[in-house]
Amino acid sequence: MKVKRLMRALKILRYLIILCCCTLLLAAPALAEGSEPITVVGQDYIVDDGNVVNSDLVVVGGNLTLQPESQVNGQIAVTGGDVTAAGTINGNLVVIGGHVQLSSSATVNGDIISSGSVEKADDAVINGRIISGLDAAADSRFTNRLLSLGHITDRHLPGAARVLGTIALVVLYVLLNILVYYVATRNVLKITQIVRRSWLPSLGAGLLTALVCVVLVPILVVICIGIPVAVVLVIALFVTLMVGSTALTKLIGHQVLAWFKASASPVLEVVCGAGIMALIALVPCVGAIVAAIAGAVGIGATMLSHFGTRDYPLSVE
């Protein structure tokens, strides 16, 4: 009876957490006038033939398809998926971790920014600029502006305050990993397997994704695509980082406990791994390098698996 009540409570908590996360995602200021944005996480989204979407559209971990004579009146941001468009987009299109394909009937009344390739038919109409791959990195002002933000020093803080602040950050990091595991257990488990067997491709994909975000986020602000889209992309990157981090910390905790021949629940594995990662990150110089590599591996594995919804490499039947 207690187990059933606990499972029921966790299930309700999971839905509440998802609701809160979606609320935060939708809280970005001033999207399309008169309607709330559409946010899709972990699945594909299709705008059917003849349908009109009068709001901004955000797709995280899925593909977006606009069929002929469909229309989106707002900004579009896609992370971890491809965009195939045969309809009309009255706004800007931003894609991170995916590619864009425009058919002959496609019309984009705005700019297209994509970390991957942009393929378009000869008859496709684009009333804006196309920035694809890492071409935007040629102008170092954008990268330097982002890297120069947020240099915070704690030299004026008392020693006790620094210690308490460090402990609070470690506890917060562990709690965030536990929270992510409860919200997306199946996704985390799949990503963990990908990290275990494909860590090198994950590292490459994670480094590329991070580099593209460093380049694209300031560009989105500078070329006036809009702060809301940039905010959504930053939030999407943070969510990707946390999901990948949880998968990695679970794997680390499992391996460490196995070395000591100790059996534990998956949550305790996450706690153990997160604690170890947090302590390593506190080591001067080396900790920052290890944390950066671990973060890149987690982000890459999450992107390659489309947020833990598919295998990598793709299984061939």
pLDDT for residue 169 is more than 50: yes
Through-space distance between the first and last CA atoms of the chain, rounded to whole angstroms: 42
Two tokens, residue 188: 């985390």
Work out whether the CA dihedral 292, 42, 275, 253 comes out positive or negative: negative
Tell me: pLDDT of 297 over 50: yes
Order of strands, edge to edge, in the sheet holding 118-120? 45-47, 64-66, 83-85, 100-102, 118-120
Provide the 8-state DSSP code for 80. S
Contact 233, 213 (CB under 8 A): yes
Q: What is the DSSP letter of 6?
A: H
Looking at the predicted structure, is the pLDDT value of residue 24 above 50? no
pLDDT of residue 108: 94
Q: Where are the domains of the chain?
A: 37-133, 159-304
Rounded CA-CA distance 96/77 in Å is 8
pLDDT tens digits, 105-118: 999 998 888 877 88
pLDDT computed for residue 220 by the predictor: 65
pLDDT at 132: 74
Compute the distance between CA of residue 157 and CA of residue 173 in angstroms, rounded to an integer. 21
The C-alpha torsion from 193 through 194 and 200 to 203, rounded to 10°, is: -110
Q: Comparing 212 with 83, which gets the higher pLDDT?
A: 83
pLDDT at site 136: 40
Place of tokens 């040629």: 138
**What is the 3-state composition of the chain as percent helix, strand, coil, each rounded to the nearest 5?**
50, 15, 35
Alpha helices in 223-265 (DSSP H): 227-259
Mean pLDDT of 234-240: 81
Q: Which residue has the higher pLDDT, 60 or 20?
A: 60
Please give the Cα distance from 175 to 92 (Å, whole number): 36
Please tell me the predicted confidence (pLDDT) of residue 17.
45
pLDDT at residue 162, as a whole number: 58
Residue 229's pLDDT is 66
- 19 pLDDT more than 50: no
Under the banding of pLDDT at 50, 70 and 90, the label for residue 164 is low
Q: Please compute the mean of the pLDDT values over residues 172-195 and round it to a whole number.
A: 86
Answer yes or no: are the C-beta atoms of 88 and 70 closer than 8 Å.
yes
Note the pLDDT of residue 78: 84
State the chain's mean pLDDT as an integer.
75
Nearest to 66 by CA among 37, 93, 41: 93
Q: How many other CB atoms are there within 10 angstroms of residue 13's CB atom?
A: 13
Lowest mean pLDDT among 2-6, 258-262, 268-272: 2-6
Mean pLDDT of 2-26: 44
pLDDT tens by residue, 27-84 = 333 334 445 678 887 789 999 998 999 988 888 778 999 999 999 998 888 877 899 9
Overall average pLDDT of the 91-112 stretch: 88
| pLDDT, mean of residues 154-175 | 64
